[in-house]
Amino acid sequence: MADVSDYFMIEGGVPLVGEITPAGNKNAALPVLAACLLTDDPVVLRNLPAIRDVEVMGELLSALGVDVRRLDPHTWRLEASEVHRPESDQLDPNQFRAIRGSILMAGPLLARVGRLAIPAPGGDVIGRRRVDTHFLAFQGLGAEVTVVNGHFEVRADRLTGADILLDEASVTGTENAVMAAVLAQGTTILRNAASEPHVQDLCLMLNAMGAQISGIGTNTLVIQGVTRLHGVEYTIGTDHIEVGSYIALAAATGGEILIRNAQPENLRMILMTFERLGVVAEPRGVDLFVPRDQPLEIMADMGGAIPTISDAPWPAFPADLMSIALVAATQATGVILFHQKMFESRLYFVDKLIPMGARVVVCDPHRALVYGPSTLTGDTMTSPDIRAGMALLIAAFAAKGASRIHNIHQIDRGYEKIEAKLAPLGARISRWCDANCVWP
């Protein structure tokens, strides 16, 4: 794990220019890794991001008896021919709580071995993140769920297809329900399902393994249970959140970036939302081009009303890009309201932007009003979570002078070697460690 004393030093005020290739989708990598538990056969996964969350998932799978081999930094071969049934004391609770995606092992383990006991998952501290949706779906398939000493114990002699309405369009809840249902007896109809690109990636991979899932990309999935799945070689898609991060980076620094293999078909709402900030990105086949020196003027709503950017389930604007878009808005002329509906703590990173010179009013835990443009100056900050960490990094590059960002292991959890990726664009960024280095 990255040392928590690591920090970035950034010299801002320089337009970032060049080409960059985003990594594979972090939020697809974790469920497709968990899906290897559904078959005895080898599974080869390509385009996995080389980030800490993926490493932790691999360690957890190894603890369950999965043979995990890294063919190269982005290609893994996994074989779950011998899977241990997890007991309450088998999995390290601290390791399990290190990532939110650890809970994704519940669905395939239930389908594979019929009983499991797992600790509560962890992840970013961005507000309450309930897991009820997962276990209600398991109960709908015939499982019994109990909570004992802080562990979830789930068991089912046989899973049976059912018509299930999820109580919220949870991404990981949908993924867990799908992985449990593919080996259930009969047909499962999953309503109010999440439909994000990473959910689609998982469903497409499962179909390539022999599952029968229809309605992929919609909010109703129909899953005809099968008796077994076989191995597969599968390449996950591009991380659309990372693409959105680079759009904001180019805009905030007045730079020009060509984003390779951006998969624009997954970016329609993201591009529409950035256009409201005066940022236009041009699809070029599978790539995306963000031109230099855009006007960055906030587009008012009809009648001159203050516009709002809000998050919602796919295909609406992703919650993971709210903090990043907010930083881009500080560099645009006009006033805009950000309404972050999903998590009550995600906007709290704004208090780190205000000392830099950002004119932002936090109205309540879910809403912030941005007045732009603001001239930002460098400062010392601490990253509270993955996406806020990237947002602070973008602010530092847009600012005049030097910035120092601590707790960057949070950024490392979602962005692969970000300093090495940005250096060819002209980014002046270096990684330091308090234990061995002196303030430069």
- Give Cα 381 to chain centroid, integer Å: 22
pLDDT attached to residue 418: 95
Look at residue 123 in the predicted model and tell me its pLDDT.
Answer: 42
- Residue 175 predicted with pLDDT over 70: yes
The confidence score (pLDDT) of residue 116 equals 84
pLDDT bracket for residue 115 (50, 70, 90): confident
Across 25-53, average pLDDT: 96
Q: Residue 180: pLDDT band by 50, 70, 90 thresholds?
A: very high
Q: What is the DSSP letter of 5?
A: T
pLDDT class of 428 with cuts at 50, 70, 90: very high
- Looking at the DSSP bridge assignments, the partners of residue 360 are 370
- What mean pLDDT do residues 413-421 have? 93
Other residues' Cβ atoms within 10 Å of the Cβ of residue 109: 25
Which residue(s) pair with 42 in the sheet? 79
Distance CA 184, CA 180 (A): 7
Taking 70 as the threshold, does the pLDDT of residue 120 lie above it?
Answer: no
Residue 89, pLDDT > 60, answer: no
Which of 63-67, 127-131, 320-324 bottoms out in mean pLDDT, i.e. has the lowest?
127-131
| pLDDT of 128 over the 70 cut | no
Strand-by-strand arrangement of the 232-235 sheet: 67-72, 75-79, 42-46, 232-235
Catalytic position from the list 124, 239, 379, 412: 124
Residue 343 has pLDDT above 80, yes or no: no
Answer whether residue 97 shows pLDDT above 90: no
Would you say residue 438 has pLDDT above 70? no
- Counting residues of the chain whose pLDDT is more than 90, the rounded percentage is 75
Q: pLDDT tier at 342 (50, 70, 90 boundaries)? A: confident
Q: What pLDDT shows up at residue 173?
A: 95
Average pLDDT score over residue span 349-361:
95
Q: Does residue 125 surpass a pLDDT of 50?
A: no
Domain parsing of the chain, residue ranges: 6-23+238-433, 26-235
CA-CA-CA-CA torsion sign (238, 240, 246, 247): positive
Q: Which of 54-58, 124-128, 301-305 has the highest mean pLDDT?
A: 54-58
Distance separating alpha carbons of residues 256 and 240, to the nearest angstrom: 18
Same fold yes or no, 6-23+238-433 and 26-235: yes
Name the DSSP letter for residue 237. Answer: -
> According to DSSP H, which parts of 90-131 are helical?
93-96, 106-113
**Residue 40 falls in the annotated catalytic set:** no
Q: Using the Cα atoms of residue 385, residue 390, residue 7 and residue 70 in order, give the sign of their dihedral.
A: positive
In contact, 120 and 131? CB cutoff 8 Å: yes
Give me the chain's average pLDDT, please. 90
How high is the pLDDT of residue 92?
Answer: 63
Mean pLDDT throughout 342-370? 89
Mean pLDDT for the stretch of residues 351-360? 96
- Say whether pLDDT at 78 is over 70: yes
pLDDT of residue 20: 98
Asked if 238 and 263 count as a contact pair (C-beta separation under 8 A), the reply is: yes
More confident residue, 115 or 49: 49
Looking at residue 87, its pLDDT comes to: 58
pLDDT higher than threshold 50 for residue 88: no
Side-chain half-sphere of 219: how many Cα atoms within 13 Å?
Answer: 12
Instruction: Kindly give the pairing relationship between strand 287-290 and strand 256-259.
Output: antiparallel
Identify which of 321, 314, 323 has the alpha carbon closest to the alpha carbon of residue 353.
Answer: 323
**Could you report the per-residue pLDDT of 239-289, keeping only the tens digit for each?**
999 999 999 999 999 999 999 999 999 999 999 999 999 999 999 999 999
Look at residue 124 in the predicted model and tell me its pLDDT: 40
Q: What does the pLDDT look like over 196-252, one tens digit per residue?
A: 999 999 999 999 999 999 999 999 999 999 999 999 999 999 999 999 999 999 999
CATH superfamily of 6-23+238-433: Enolpyruvate transferase domain (3.65.10.10)
Tokens coding 407: 């707790």
Phi, psi of 138 (to 5 degrees): -60, -40
Give the pLDDT confidence score for residue 1 in this predicted structure. Answer: 40
- The third-level CATH classification (topology) of the domain covering 26-235 is UDP-n-acetylglucosamine1-carboxyvinyl-transferase; Chain (3.65.10)
